A and B are shown apart, each in its own frame.
Chain A
Amino acid sequence: MTTNAVEVRDLQVTRGDIHVLHGLDLDIDGGVTGLLGPSGCGKTTLMRCLVGVQQVDGGTVTVFGEDAGSVPLRHRIGYHTQAASVYDDLTVLENLQFFARVRGLDDDACRRAVEAVDLTSHDRHVVGRLSGGQRSRASLAVALLGEPDLLVLDEPTVGLDPVLRKELWELFHRLADAGSAVFVSSHVMDEAERCDRLLLMREGEIIADGTPAEIKERTGAADAEHAFLTLVTEHAGKHARREMEAER
């Protein structure tokens, strides 16, 4: 019955006193799905919901037909948090070996993950002494361990050089071709073009959903950034109209 990797229905989340998500509906399937939007729009909150570490006020999140965060899913999801979540006092390899042991994976999986993020030449360096970009890649490698069925990557390419960014996006597509669902967030609009499907998010709502080409065509914009700006203006207009009607 379930065909989508991820199904989100009427999801509501409050963080502090801010209503971050107010009744979000979303399906995500295979391929590389990009979640773009300004910082603070709810991207990280949505991703935390998929992984099952976010307290939710209402609604459901289903991943591969199971409740998000349930035990069987914990082997099948790779999660990259926005800030690098690795141990600074361990080497790249020691970090990977630790997380691999937790997942029940072998050293071969570690080696593949290190290669994927191009850190093989630094794998015996202590993470705390690496550059910011290298540290972030070490953290990404942990998410890639064991080629999980769903990859939830929160801004994995921030602060990386263009060559590496291109390589990583190629990697995401290879993983998607091999059958993983890849869900990537970014606030850099030029990365939008690299997604199979693009979700534009603003203030906890998905304001556009389609292939990059479709979105550009619909808005008549030359690139994703202008498409986004057009959509934001439209969206704000719609909101204002709705409010005026409500007042009447």
Chain B
Amino acid sequence: MSPRITMAVTRRVLTQLRRDHRTMAMLLFLPTLLMTLLWWMFKDTPAQVFDSIGPSLLALFPFFIMFLVTSVTTLRERSSGTLERLLAMPMGKLDFLFGYALAFGLMAALQSVIAVAVSVGFLGMDVVGPVWLLTVVAVLDAVLGSALGLFVSAFAQTEFQAVQFMPAVVVPQMLLCGLLVPRDQLPTVLSQISDVLPLSYAVDAMQHLMVSATTGEVWQNLVIVSAFAVAGLGLGAATLRRRTP
């Protein structure tokens, strides 16, 4: 791995994003707009629904969006021939993946900071734990989404397939992460499955921050989420082949 090459990839991806204003705007503001929509939906209901599911969705939206953006972008790189050209150059596979992860991680951080700031600052989301830690969780979720997106893009031959990986990989995690039914109330098998899905830990962290000021459990969850992200990048590297059929 070489920092020079990793940074070259990061810079190039960010330049590409800067040129694509529409994607940039959606990356930065879409989660915030969705949070605002959610707040509006429950504005006139007496129960504190926004406060109870808002934090979980702050974990979910960045994960969701970064997964999609990353898998399509990397697939484009694979199919346009630029990846083949790069791999014939002194480009390490990890340089390539970390370069992407850094660029999208940075975007994810901006996206999450805006979404958290608006949710807590303007929409009055009540969080008992520290708000900065809430932001850290959101950023890591987005990085996790990027890492998994990089990984699954290896299994998609077309952009159609890549887009469909979202319902295949992301939606089951959404259903089982504890947002709709608390994880301990799921049927045993599903509860066990939810134990090995990364999003469950992200949502656990958010739900904990919502009701408690203690941070020990949050950090534990964050370690697990990070481990999944690193594993996603590692598996992604394993699927990048210099020699193709």
Q: Given A15-B245, A102-B89, verify A89-B5 contact (CB < 8 Å).
A: no
Distance to closest chain A CB from B78 (angstroms) = 11
Residue B43, interface by CB 8 Å: no
Please tell me if the beta carbons of A126 and B19 are within 8 angstroms of each other in the complex. Answer: yes
Residues of B within 8 Å of A218, CB to CB, are none
A interface residues, how many (CB within 8 angstroms): 31
Interface string of A75-90 (1 = CB under 8 A from B): 1010101011111011
Distance A52 CA – B90 CA, assembled complex (angstroms): 12
Residues of B within 8 Å of A69, CB to CB, are 88, 242-243
Task: Considering the complex, give the chain A residue whose CB is closest to the CB of B91.
Answer: A102
Please tell me if the beta carbons of B81 and A56 are within 8 angstroms of each other in the complex. Answer: no
* Residue from B12, B89, B245 in contact with A87 in the complex, judged by beta carbons closer than 8 Å: B12
Please tell me if the beta carbons of B84 and A85 are within 8 angstroms of each other in the complex. Answer: yes
Residues of A within 8 Å of B91, CB to CB, are 74, 102
Distance A164 CA – B131 CA, assembled complex (angstroms): 61
Residues of A within 8 Å of B244, CB to CB, are 53-55
Max chain B C-beta neighbours (<10 A), residue from A71, A77, A101, A142: A101
* Residue from B12, B82, B242 in contact with A85 in the complex, judged by beta carbons closer than 8 Å: B82
Distance to closest chain A CB from B222 (angstroms) = 33
Please tell me if the beta carbons of B242 and A52 are within 8 angstroms of each other in the complex. Answer: yes
* Residue from A75, A79, A81, A89 in contact with B16 in the complex, judged by beta carbons closer than 8 Å: A89
Please tell me if the beta carbons of B245 and A55 are within 8 angstroms of each other in the complex. Answer: yes
Please tell me if the beta carbons of B242 and A83 are within 8 angstroms of each other in the complex. Answer: no
Task: Considering the complex, give the chain B residue whose CB is closest to the CB of A142.
Answer: B85
* Residue from B80, B84, B90 in contact with A71 in the complex, judged by beta carbons closer than 8 Å: B90
* Residue from A53, A89, A102 in contact with B90 in the complex, judged by beta carbons closer than 8 Å: A102
Residue A238, interface by CB 8 Å: no
Residues of B within 8 Å of A126, CB to CB, are 19
* Residue from A52, A84, A94 in contact with B15 in the complex, judged by beta carbons closer than 8 Å: A94
Q: Given A87-B12, A94-B12, verify A103-B81 contact (CB < 8 Å).
A: no
Interface string of B198-217 (1 = CB under 8 A from A): 00000000000000000000
* Residue from A55, A89, A98 in contact with B20 in the complex, judged by beta carbons closer than 8 Å: A89
Residue A16, interface by CB 8 Å: yes
Please tell me if the beta carbons of A75 and B19 are within 8 angstroms of each other in the complex. Answer: no
Residue B86, interface by CB 8 Å: yes
Q: Given A53-B244, A74-B90, A75-B90, verify A101-B81 contact (CB < 8 Å).
A: no
Distance A94 CA – B89 CA, assembled complex (angstroms): 17
Residue B235, interface by CB 8 Å: no
- Interchain residue pairs with CB less than 8 A apart (23): A16-B245, A52-B88, A52-B243, A53-B87, A53-B88, A53-B242, A69-B243, A71-B90, A74-B89, A74-B90, A74-B91, A75-B90, A77-B88, A81-B81, A83-B81, A86-B82, A98-B11, A102-B5, A102-B8, A102-B86, A102-B90, A102-B91, A104-B90
Residues of A bordering B, CB below 8 Å: 15-16, 51-56, 69, 71, 74-75, 77, 79, 81, 83-87, 89-90, 94, 98-99, 101-104, 126, 142
